[in-house]
């Protein structure tokens, strides 16, 4: 029996509710497929920040380093600015562990209302370590008419190439179609470079059809004809926008999963639902656990158990298609626990 060593950071708000649900489902899948988890919980959170002045201890990254993967619920709390959780926890982990791929699968499940027409089965690959989210820049002349702000974006050949290669390879394993998000008509240094590298990497993946679209037009097409897309790849900012848009188009932010991957496996990868801590519904037991459960499925897949991961996603799809057990965000009345039980039942019924 393989045992995977997982660092668990439930975080804040509904993170504390959806994390146990997701891990329970992953463990049930493991029992069916001959693997198990050793879980080590860390209380790193905005709550810890309010108590101790830091999201995680100074040696936090070193503590995570030896684990096979990190599972994170959600971090965020009213009164704590988003940049605290971002720069105090999420971004350091993503960068230190070279998690340069942010993977966000999006599917339209039968039984989930969507504001758009057509099937959706796509994956957004977001560059996760450089690009527009740099710390380089500054403010000048505060309070004067000449006040200004400057922010630099960083695109490196190595950084762009590695995420493009991941996206092309993923497209090759899926329906063989990749769309690159750009805006090289308006942004005249970084994105033309990105486009050049897309063309260069495309030459190495002759089996994959590819297109590029300006981010504005791409957002419109994602709403108007989502079924044409397979793999979408974008910079840190564009990938961020595309994945939230795609998740909304598929029905609810509550069902969207994500993986922060270090594809070379030099360091642990991190798995987390796309949604935040949702303080408006926290503590009520009503959070939709699908985003977290699906993220756990991505973790199971990354740990080498693709069959078990497929079964978890199939169990989610099965419960949604039956339609009698649904959480509030999807128009139902079930709580987190009841929905999780239904997924576990479906998993046990799997062949
Ligand atoms: P944070 O500051 O942590 O990002 P937030 O409130 O800004 O939190 P989300 O947590 O993503 O952002 O919540 C946005 C909205 O979506 C909220 O109204 C929340 O209740 C709802 N929501 C998010 N996740 C879920 C979920 N899993 N189940 C049900 N509703 C959810
Ligand atoms: Mg938020």
DSSP symbol at 274: S
The residues that bridge with 77 in the sheet, in sequence order, are 80
**Ligand 1 centroid distance, CA of 277 (Å):** 6
Helix and strand totals (H; E) in the chain? 12, 12
| Whole-number Å distance between alpha carbons of 102 and 351 | 32
- Write down the pLDDT at residue 115: 85
Catalytic residue among 100, 133, 166, 329: 133
φ/ψ of residue 223, rounded to 5:
-80, -40
- Within this chain, domains 1-101+257-351 and 114-250 share the same CATH topology: yes
Fold of 1-101+257-351: Isopropylmalate Dehydrogenase (3.40.718)
Report how far ligand 2's centroid is from the alpha carbon of 175 (Å).
33
- Cβ(76) – ligand 1 distance below 6 Å: yes
Q: Is 330 near ligand 1, meaning CB less than 6 Å away?
A: no
What is the residue extent of each domain of the chain? 1-101+257-351, 114-250
Please indicate whether residue 115 or residue 33 has the higher confidence score (pLDDT). 33
Q: Is 266 in the pocket of ligand 1 (CB under 6 A)?
A: no
pLDDT tens-place string over residues 24-74: 999 999 999 999 999 999 999 999 999 999 999 999 999 999 999 999 999
Greater confidence, 104 or 351?
A: 104
Mutation pick for ligand 1 pocket among 45, 80, 278, 339 (CB with most ligand atoms within 8 Å) = 278
ipTM: 0.93
Please tell me the distance between residue 77's alpha carbon and the centre of ligand 2 in angstroms: 9
What integer pLDDT is reported at residue 134 of this predicted model?
86
Q: Are the beta carbons of 21 and 341 closer than 8 angstroms?
A: no
E strand or H helix that includes residue 342: helix 336-349
Active-site option among 62, 119, 216, 348: 216
Query: What is the average per-residue pLDDT within 123-138?
Result: 94
CA quadruple 59, 104, 152, 144: dihedral sign: negative
User: Residue range 146-159: average pLDDT?
Assistant: 97
Higher pLDDT, 160 or 350: 160
Does the pLDDT value for residue 131 go beyond 90? yes
Question: What one-character DSSP code corresponds to residue 88?
Answer: I
Catalytic residue at 82? no
What is the average pLDDT score of the chain?
95
Task: Give the mean model confidence (pLDDT) for residues 223-234.
Answer: 96
Q: Which CATH number is associated with domain 114-250?
A: 3.40.718.10
Can you give the pLDDT at residue 127? 97
Distance 254 CA to ligand 1 centre (A): 7
* Sequence-separated (6 or more) residues with CB below 8 Å from residue 284: 335
At 158 the three-state DSSP class reads helix
Would you call 183 a catalytic residue per the annotation?
A: yes
pTM for the model = 0.93
Ligand 1 centroid to Cα of residue 115, in Å, is: 19
pLDDT of the residue at 154: 97
Residue 351 has pLDDT above 60, yes or no: no
Confidence category of residue 350, pLDDT binned at 50, 70, 90:
low
Among 275, 280, 333, 338, the mutation site with the greatest number of ligand 1 atoms within 8 A of its Cβ is 275
Q: Whose CA is nearest to atom 31 of ligand 1?
A: 254
Q: Please say whether the beta carbons of 259 and 253 come within 8 A.
A: no
Does 100 participate in catalysis according to the annotation? Answer: no
pLDDT tens profile 277-323: 999 999 999 999 999 999 999 999 999 999 999 999 999 999 999 98
């Amino acid at each position: 029996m393989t045992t995977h060593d997982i660092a668990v950071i439930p975080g804040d708000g509904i993170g504390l509710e959806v994390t146990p649900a997701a891990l329970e489902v992953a463990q049930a899948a493991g029992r069916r497929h001959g693997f198990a988890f050793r879980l080590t919980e860390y209380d790193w959170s905005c709550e810890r920040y309010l108590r101790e002045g830091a999201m995680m201890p100074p040696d936090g990254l070193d503590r995570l380093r030896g684990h096979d993967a990190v599972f994170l619920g959600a971090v965020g709390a009213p009164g704590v600015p988003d940049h605290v959780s971002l720069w105090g926890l999420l971004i350091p982990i993503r960068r230190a562990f070279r998690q340069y791929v942010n993977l966000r699968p999006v599917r339209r499940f039968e039984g989930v209302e969507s504001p758009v027409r057509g099937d959706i089965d796509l994956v957004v690959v977001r560059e996760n370590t450089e690009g527009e989210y740099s710390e380089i820049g500054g403010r000048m002349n505060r309070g004067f008419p000449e006040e200004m702000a400057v922010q630099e974006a960083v695109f490196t050949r190595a950084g762009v190439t590695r995420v493009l290669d991941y996206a092309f390879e993923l497209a090759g394993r899926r329906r063989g179609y990749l769309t690159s998000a750009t805006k090289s008509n308006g942004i005249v240094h970084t994105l033309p470079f990105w486009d050049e590298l897309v063309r260069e990497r495309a030459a190495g993946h002759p089996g994959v059809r590819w297109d590029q679209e300006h981010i504005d037009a791409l957002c419109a097409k994602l709403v108007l004809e989502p079924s044409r897309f397979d793999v979408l790849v974008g910079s840190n900012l564009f990938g961020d926008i595309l994945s939230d848009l795609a998740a909304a188009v598929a029905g609810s932010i509550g069902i969207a999963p994500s993986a922060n991957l270090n594809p070379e496996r030099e360091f642990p990868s991190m798995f987390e639902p796309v949604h935040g801590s949702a303080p408006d519904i926290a503590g009520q037991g009503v959070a939709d656990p699908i985003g977290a459960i699906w993220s756990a499925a991505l973790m199971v897949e990354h740990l080498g158990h693709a069959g078990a991961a497929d079964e978890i996603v199939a169990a989610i799809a099965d419960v949604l298609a039956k339609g009698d057990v649904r959480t509030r965000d999807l128009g139902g009345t079930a709580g987190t626990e009841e929905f999780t039980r239904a997924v576990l039942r479906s998993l046990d019924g799997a062949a």
